[in-house]
Amino acid sequence: MRARAIAVACLAAIVCVSVATSSAEASKKGELVNESKGALKKNNVKGTTKAFTLAGFGEAKIICGEGVLEGKVTSTKGGEGKITFKGCEVSGKFPGTGCATGTEPETITFPLLWGYVEVGGKDVWEKTIKPETEIVCGAVKVAVKGAFLSQVTPEGELTKEFTLNSEEALKSEKETLEVSVDGKSFEKAHASLKIKVTLEENAEFI
């Protein structure tokens, strides 16, 4: 059974990413559909994650606790919403310092736009950050840009529940996420994230 992935954009303003596929995969639609092969009629999306880690840039890591995803599927090709992480802090060079994207302490929120895309025969949730998203950790400012992928399971069956796993996608996909600390040069980074997503009606990726 082939694996699928969803492409997701974490940003306020986003440009969709085009992904080339082989001729053998050209017949795939890259769509999320209901039992009637159409758009979802009940389109609310909820999800939870136990942890989020942004790592790979020097000695530092941003580590968060539980996260909550809320959004809507707006078409067979994508949707929008937000994901909020609690208990966020930086380790490594600046240990124990809380991190936030707004005024609420130790809380990081990413606005989301997502689309469904085929990458090398997989269904991938590709989170694209553009323009840069700034995370403030005490006196340290961390700018994040680029994209990271999460593999979707199960694939090829109707269900209300899916798992999005960035670690599985990273095993075979090139990292495209970059981080800059305090205005320095961007370095390659990666995100570790596993989300359990629940829909209001049965759906599948085709």
Residue 36 located in a structural domain: no
- Amino acid, single-letter form, for residue 34: N
Residue 39 located in a structural domain: no
Q: HSE, CB side, 13 Å, CA atoms: give it for residue 49.
A: 24
- Number of Cβ within 10 Å of residue 94's Cβ equals 17
**Which range of residues forms the domain containing residue 173?**
4-26+48-205
- Domain count across the chain: 1
Residue 43 located in a structural domain: no
Residue 37 located in a structural domain: no
Q: What is the mean pLDDT of residues 90-107?
A: 84
Residue 120 located in a structural domain: yes
Over the stretch 4-42, which tens digit does the pLDDT of each residue have? Answer: 555 454 443 222 232 323 333 445 567 889 999 999 999
Over the stretch 184-202, which tens digit does the pLDDT of each residue have? Answer: 888 888 888 889 999 999 9
Residue 142 located in a structural domain: yes
Read off the pLDDT band of 86 (50, 70, 90).
very high
Say if residues 113 and 93 touch (Cβ distance below 8 Å): no
Residue 143 located in a structural domain: yes
Q: Give the chain's radius of gyration (CA, Å).
A: 17
Residue 31 located in a structural domain: no
The reported pLDDT for the residue numbered 23 is 37
Per DSSP, the residues of 11-68 read SSS--PPP----GGGTT----EE-TTSS--SS-EEEEEES-EEEEEETTEEEEE--EE
